[in-house]
Amino acid sequence: MDRRGAVQAATLVVMGAIGFTLRLPSLSPGVQRFVEDRVEFSVPTNAWRRAAEGVFLHESGVDPYEGDMYHETPLCLIFLTKAKSLGETFLNRLFPACDILTAICLYFFAKNLVEAMIIQQRKDYASLKPKVQLLLTPFEDIPKVPLAVFIWYILNPFVIGSCMAKTTSVFTNLLLAAMLLFTSFGSNPVARVASLVFLALASYQTLYLFLLFPALHLYLMTSVPDKQRSRLWYELGHLVVNLGIFGVTLSGLVIFSSMIMGSWTFLRGVYVFAVSSPDLTPNIGLFWYFFTEMFEQFRTFFVCTFFMNVCLYAIPVATKLRHDPPFAIFVLLILITIFKPYPSYGDVGFYMSLFPIWRRLEPLMKQTLIVSVMLLIAVVLFPVLWKLWIIAGSANSNFFYAITLVFIASQVFFVCDVTLAHEKRQWQLKNNAETLEAIHLD
Amino acid sequence: MGLLTDPGKSEQMAKLLAKNYAKLSALAYIVGLCWTFAIVDDHFTLRTYFSENALLPGLVEPAFTSTDEAFAKMQYKLLIDLQRKPDSHFPVDFLHDAFRKLGLEAYVHSYNYTLPGDGHKHGKSVYAILRASRANSQESMVLAAPYRSSKTEKVRTEGGIALLLALAHQFRFKHYWAKDIIFLVTENEHIGAKAWVEAYHGIDSSVVASEPLKDRAGAIQAAITAEIPGPNLDYVDARIVGINGQMPNLDLLNLVRLLCSQQQIPLVIQGNSQLLERTPQNMMGHYLRDLQTASAMVTSAASGQLEGNHGFFQQFNIQSLTLRGLKKDANRNGRIGFLDLGIAFEGICRSLNNLLERFHQSFFFYIMPATQRFVSIGLYMPPLGILVLPLVLTALHLWSKGSFPVGEGNAAGGSSTVGTVLPWIVLSHAIGLGAFTVGLSALSTLPDTAAMMVGLGATLAVAFSTPVLTSRFLREADANLLHSLTLIELAVGLYALSMLNFSLALIVAMIAVPVAILQVPTNRTLRTLLGGLLLVTCPTLVMLGVKVWEGLRTGAVFSLNDLDKVKDEWLLPLSDLFMQYVVYGNWLSPVLCLFLLPVWVCTWMVYWTSG
């Protein structure tokens, strides 16, 4: 290993250690208690308190899905029961350890991806005008970007809080990161199967992630030789195989769960719950306020509409961004976070830490200031308005919901901005056009 | 999404902003300031009105008669006699017996409390529950009075306790109560109230450790604290501002005002006795009086301090206020006696008894220039928004200066990114956190004020000496970005603060905005002037100044000759701020240390780097 590599490795180890320590609940019990109670971190589908309740019910021989408290999947239940039996200390180390593992997965994913991106653009854009060349990903990104992703994940306050609150988003994030990592290995068949299996696991854990399938399929197709890709039958064959692996794994997981639980009640507790969102505890999403205000007879209609709204984006985004499927996955992750019923800071932190991969887009983005200020305002005002509404009783739900809208709007602005910047860059590279407007790159 | 995607628009905006931001900022600040002062005027305020129809105030025939008045007078005399005894203390047994004799469930609640730097102490409260005959103890209201020893310099409260007993005497056989009525007498000022309210809701705090209450009534809907010295009063002062500027529901104040006015009891707010006199006919006099009342309320709310024991009830979502009986002239007897007060209190209780839901209508955020006029949140927020606007404009301008460099600036040192200024922001916040920790830990070493002095001096020294670092490591191009980010932090912080405590945000905005947006001029004199201005507005120094001024106003003598005295009288007030944070959660000290001080340090760094 050369000197540079050693420095890189040392940084990783040090940052990892810092991240692990920061996530230990014993470091700051006050903060831990604070985040555990925050609705921004703990939502019905990932709260530790509910998970622990489910484990307790399961251990006492009661079906946890009979009640209205527990919404984790049965495998998660088994896993947490095991983990809990190993003691409090183990549990307190398990969550940070999983988070560090996620960060490591993301690190290697970013590394593979940036390398692939550079190889690809060498191939695609051989002769560019010098100014347009500035848009390309330079070689120096190979060590820089993965480290940035790692640090963004390790030191991301959203992720740290989410881990401290022991939300199960930690596991979903790990599964997603593993999926991304295996996908980035390219043509290796084992990796392909693994990535589909991890997508199935992630979707099993959080229903809406199945929407990543089209984008993931296209991503897997990028490593297929060009000869095969040009033939329709091969394409269809790949789609059938991928869909088959994904579908079989997912249904296998569900059937296996029903065998463990001995009943199908978990379907209602997990998946029907995730779609119809009957728990209207306020959170940072759009659903709770809408469904509290709405007349009950329209509920079914709007549940369907909202579910369709989330699903609507999967195929168009994947098709439009078919030349850059990893970016499509990134965009879809943001959209799912915006439109699913129970989003939490854990999801927000995950997609945020992927952003450094596309940091070359930043100079083309126009709204970074607005987006970050809106985000800052929302993050500061969430606890303030919660206190005014719930504890002091002087404000009301409208105040809290207004800030939710600011938060959502900031994410929508962000996703628009980043997609637009991506398309602009693509256009410029393709047409070898200097610039639409003055770009200032460092 | 034309808003976001139109290319070239933002550049145009940036140019427009660069050209006009200074004028716009100045204009916004002046307009904001004028508007802030204008909202007190009659043309902008609204007349108070009842939103909650269920209250039905003053519709019942008063049952409080001269028999009850005589009972109150008798109790008052007994209490005074007890006070006169040489070893007088909180008459727990007397009160317990008195309530018990009236047929109420009476209990004694004891608690221990520890103030930082002070030993363990013990305290007791007496409370009695009158069970409602028409409902099953689901809701209740509280009538409270603090007990004060004969040595107190504050308003005496025996009258209030006697009134409580008389009301209990009057209420006990009535069939119409639908809410339990809790009569509460506490000692040790706010600690007693805090201990009882927390014990009632089963909450443990770090300061007070109390035994569980022996019995409870329902959820408390409202609480009235009476600080009545005795009969023969002139007027009543309604203290409404609670901890951190929290206000009770305006309907409660309306109710109190209406029932007092039915008994011809003059009611004032903020202790402003000018409100008793005839409204000045000339416009200016009228306006000035309103302004004085409103600004008294704003400063009181901004200080975050307790105006009375009602503040603790408000923390638990219980609408509450304190009624303080006052005399115009200490030697002359006023015309308001127990009968008027009794009827007014009875009316208040009967009205509250009608409540169907907890107070939720009317206003929770308001400022009052007079007892019958108020400025609601919708009216006072816009001026603050405009007042803070200069920060946003200047921040945007400085930001666009960084992201659209004009050629040579870029060549000089490369463009600055958030990454390069982040360490400075972190440093400034670390200083703030340090100041806060020092302040808190110095508390436990009190009364040795030397610790406070050393801590304070050290943090100030560190804060003031940051330019030594910045002059070496902070580039001028970065200073602009740092300035921009500081302004953004200040703006976001002020908007957030305005939700929590509007008054504090307003006062901070008035002082900080013009100083923060000024860019370092090249002219030497102006530069020095700005430096001086920055020094004067250092949050710690401002706070020290305010405390000293408060001390001077209340008549404390600051003499430089006696060093011990200086320590006690100059530094104790400052540590008092931290004490208030620990004891009852006044947020002024965290806001000061964790928000304003870091912002100030950043501005200070920028000052020494640019120009």
- Check residue B4 and give its pLDDT: 52
Nearest Cα to Cα of residue B314 among B222, B395, B384 = B222
CA of A60 to nearest chain B CA: how many angstroms apart? 30
- Tell me how many degrees the CA angle A362-A364-A370 measures, rounded to the nearest 5: 70
More confident residue, B115 or A55: A55
State whether A440 and B404 contact (CB < 8 Å): yes
CA of A377 to nearest chain B CA: how many angstroms apart? 6
Predicted confidence (pLDDT) at residue A325 exceeds the cutoff of 90: yes
State whether B1 and A385 contact (CB < 8 Å): no
- Check residue A162 and give its pLDDT: 95
Average pLDDT of B272-285? Answer: 82
In the chain, the amino acid numbered A17 is A
Nearest Cα to Cα of residue A36 among A48, A46, A27, A24 = A48
Q: Please, is B55 exposed, middle or buried when counting C-beta atoms within 10 Å of its C-beta (0-12, 13-18, 19+)?
A: buried
- Check residue B140 and give its pLDDT: 95
- Check residue B7 and give its pLDDT: 53
Domain ranges, ordered by start, for chain B: 7-39+378-406+414-610, 53-272+307-371
More confident residue, B127 or B271: B127
- Check residue B412 and give its pLDDT: 39
- Tell me how many degrees the CA angle B101-B103-B107 measures, rounded to the nearest 5: 80
State whether B5 and A381 contact (CB < 8 Å): no
CA of B363 to nearest chain A CA: how many angstroms apart? 8
Residue A244 region by backbone torsions, left for phi larger than 0, else alpha for psi between -120 and 50, else beta: alpha
Chain A CB within 8 Å of residue B364 CB: yes
Find the DSSP H helices in B416-475: 418-444, 449-473
- Check residue B13 and give its pLDDT: 75
Chain B residues with CB under 8 Å of A440 CB are 403-405, 410, 415
Q: How far, in Å, are A23, B81, B449 from residue B565 at the CA level?
A: 48, 37, 11
Q: What Rg do the C-alpha atoms of chain A give, in angstroms?
A: 22
Q: How far is residue B325's CA from residue B229's CA, in Å, rounded to a whole number?
A: 6
Chain A residues with CB under 8 Å of B587 CB are none
Q: How far is residue B409's CA from residue B421's CA, in Å, rounded to a whole number?
A: 17
More confident residue, A233 or B33: B33
- Check residue A441 and give its pLDDT: 44
Banded pLDDT at B1 (limits 50, 70, 90): very low
Q: How far, in Å, are A145, A320, A366 from residue A420 at the CA level?
A: 21, 12, 10
Task: For residue range B320-366, list pLDDT tens digits in order.
Answer: 999 999 998 888 888 999 999 999 999 999 999 999 888 888 889 99
Which A residues 145-204 touch B at CB under 8 Å? none
- Check residue A2 and give its pLDDT: 78
Banded pLDDT at B17 (limits 50, 70, 90): confident
Chain A CB within 8 Å of residue B454 CB: no
- Check residue A442 and give its pLDDT: 38
Average pLDDT of A19-45? Answer: 89
Predicted confidence (pLDDT) at residue A436 exceeds the cutoff of 60: no
- Check residue B529 and give its pLDDT: 87
What is the three-class DSSP state of A440?
coil
Locate B311 and state its tokens.
Answer: 């503040």
Predicted confidence (pLDDT) at residue B469 exceeds the cutoff of 90: no
- Check residue B430 and give its pLDDT: 92
Please provide the average confidence, as pLDDT, over all residues in chain A: 90
3-state SS track over A143-168 = HHHHHHHHHHHHCCHHHHHHHHCCCC
Lowest mean pLDDT, pick from B183-192, B466-475, B524-533: B466-475
Chain B CB within 8 Å of residue A367 CB: yes
Chain A residues with CB under 8 Å of B496 CB are 377, 380-381, 384
Chain A residues with CB under 8 Å of B406 CB are none
What is the three-class DSSP state of A125?
coil
| A149 and A353 Cβ atoms separated by less than 8 Å | yes
- Tell me how many degrees the CA angle B138-B141-B146 measures, rounded to the nearest 5: 140
Banded pLDDT at B564 (limits 50, 70, 90): low
Banded pLDDT at B413 (limits 50, 70, 90): very low
Q: Which CATH superfamily is domain B53-272+307-371 in?
A: Zn peptidases (3.40.630.10)
Task: For residue range A170-212, list pLDDT tens digits in order.
Answer: 999 999 999 999 999 877 889 999 999 999 999 999 999 999 9
Lowest mean pLDDT, pick from A310-314, B390-394, B535-539: B535-539
State whether B493 and A380 contact (CB < 8 Å): yes
- Check residue B280 and give its pLDDT: 78
Q: How far is residue B396's CA from residue B489's CA, in Å, rounded to a whole number?
A: 12
- Check residue A20 and give its pLDDT: 93
Chain B CB within 8 Å of residue A397 CB: no
Predicted confidence (pLDDT) at residue B146 exceeds the cutoff of 60: yes
Task: For residue range A82-111, list pLDDT tens digits in order.
Answer: 999 998 899 999 999 999 999 999 999 999
Q: How far, in Å, are A40, A223, A281, A302 from residue A44 at the CA level?
A: 11, 39, 8, 20
Predicted confidence (pLDDT) at residue B302 exceeds the cutoff of 70: yes
Task: For residue range B148-176, list pLDDT tens digits in order.
Answer: 988 877 888 999 999 999 999 999 989 99
Predicted confidence (pLDDT) at residue A353 exceeds the cutoff of 50: yes
- Check residue B397 and give its pLDDT: 87
% of chain B with per-residue pLDDT over 90: 50
If residue B22 lies in a helix (H) or strand (E), which one and from where to where?
helix B9-38
DSSP per residue over B328-367, as a string?
SSTTS--SB-HHHHHHHHHHHHHHHHT-SS-S-SS-SSEE
Which B residues 428-447 touch A at CB under 8 Å? none
Chain A CB within 8 Å of residue B526 CB: no
More confident residue, B402 or A338: A338
CA of B364 to nearest chain A CA: how many angstroms apart? 5
Task: For residue range B70-103, list pLDDT tens digits in order.
Answer: 999 999 999 999 988 888 889 999 999 999 999 9
Q: How far is residue B559's CA from residue B538's CA, in Å, rounded to a whole number?
A: 24
Dihedral through CA A231, CA A233, CA A235, CA A238, nearest 10? -140
CA of B316 to nearest chain A CA: how many angstroms apart? 6
| B547 and B592 Cβ atoms separated by less than 8 Å | no
Average pLDDT of B568-594? Answer: 81
Chain A CB within 8 Å of residue B1 CB: yes
Q: How far is residue A399's CA from residue A383's CA, in Å, rounded to a whole number?
A: 11
Chain B residues with CB under 8 Å of A381 CB are 495-496, 499
- Check residue A415 and give its pLDDT: 96
DSSP per residue over A18-30, as a string?
HHHHHH-TTT-HH
Chain B CB within 8 Å of residue A101 CB: no
Average pLDDT of A218-244? Answer: 85
- Check residue B554 and give its pLDDT: 65
If residue A8 lies in a helix (H) or strand (E), which one and from where to where?
helix A3-23
More confident residue, A228 or B194: B194
ipTM, 2 decimals? Answer: 0.85
Chain B CB within 8 Å of residue A393 CB: yes
Q: Please, is A418 exposed, middle or buried when counting C-beta atoms within 10 Å of its C-beta (0-12, 13-18, 19+)?
A: buried
What is the three-class DSSP state of B148?
coil
- Tell me how many degrees the CA angle B168-B174-B179 measures, rounded to the nearest 5: 75
Locate B268 and state its tokens.
Answer: 């004032």
Domain ranges, ordered by start, for chain A: 3-431
Residue of B nearest to A367 (CA): B4
Task: For residue range B213-228, list pLDDT tens digits in order.
Answer: 999 998 999 999 999 9
| B162 and B76 Cβ atoms separated by less than 8 Å | yes
DSSP structural state of residue B313: H
Predicted confidence (pLDDT) at residue A435 exceeds the cutoff of 70: no
